[in-house]
Amino acid sequence: MRSELIDVGTGGREVVFDLTSKCEQFVSAGAHQARGDGLLHVFVPHATAGIAILETGAGSDTDLLAVLEQLLPRDFGWQHRHGAPGHGRDHVLPALIPPYASIPVIGGRMTLGTWQSICLVDTNVDNPQRQVRLSWLPR
């Protein structure tokens, strides 16, 4: 197994940050091992962020943030109250968007669908820096 921690700057705003190119670089750097077949595991070690696989650039990323605001409104009476107003919603987010995803890799290439991207979903405006752990599990 090979693992790497990458830093992601979210700018202190709600974001769907596309990690796909960083994941491709990580996979290609180790693709010569085990004939390039294995599993890429993506994990965000934070209690207020998740990993999603979705289409980006055509509005789906913005739509996701809008739906999360409807499902988890900031002005709800959250019991978890430290941080910016509505920060309790950020701690519920990983129950809906898990903090991990696993992607099969065949022949050194991730087997994502045509429009699929690997994204960090972060609604926590209090934390402008995130880390994401990429792990390569060879076949």
Q: What is the reported pTM?
A: 0.94
Task: Provide the residue ranges of all domains of the chain, joining segments of one domain with +.
Answer: 2-138
pLDDT tens across the length of the chain (139 residues) = 899 999 999 988 999 999 999 999 999 887 555 568 999 999 999 999 999 999 999 999 999 999 999 999 999 999 988 888 889 999 999 999 999 999 999 999 999 999 999 999 999 999 999 999 999 999 8
State the Cα–Cα distance between residues 35 and 103, nearest whole angstrom: 16
Question: What pLDDT was estimated at residue 36?
Answer: 80
State the Cα–Cα distance between residues 121 and 139, nearest whole angstrom: 29
Question: What pLDDT was estimated at residue 134?
Answer: 98
Question: In the structure encoding, which two tokens stand for residue 56, read together?
Answer: 């980006």
State the Cα–Cα distance between residues 36 and 29, nearest whole angstrom: 10
Q: Which CATH class is domain 2-138?
A: mainly beta
Question: What pLDDT was estimated at residue 81?
Answer: 80
Q: Is 96 helix (H, G, I), strand (E, B) or coil?
A: helix
Question: What pLDDT was estimated at residue 21?
Answer: 97
Question: What pLDDT was estimated at residue 60?
Answer: 96
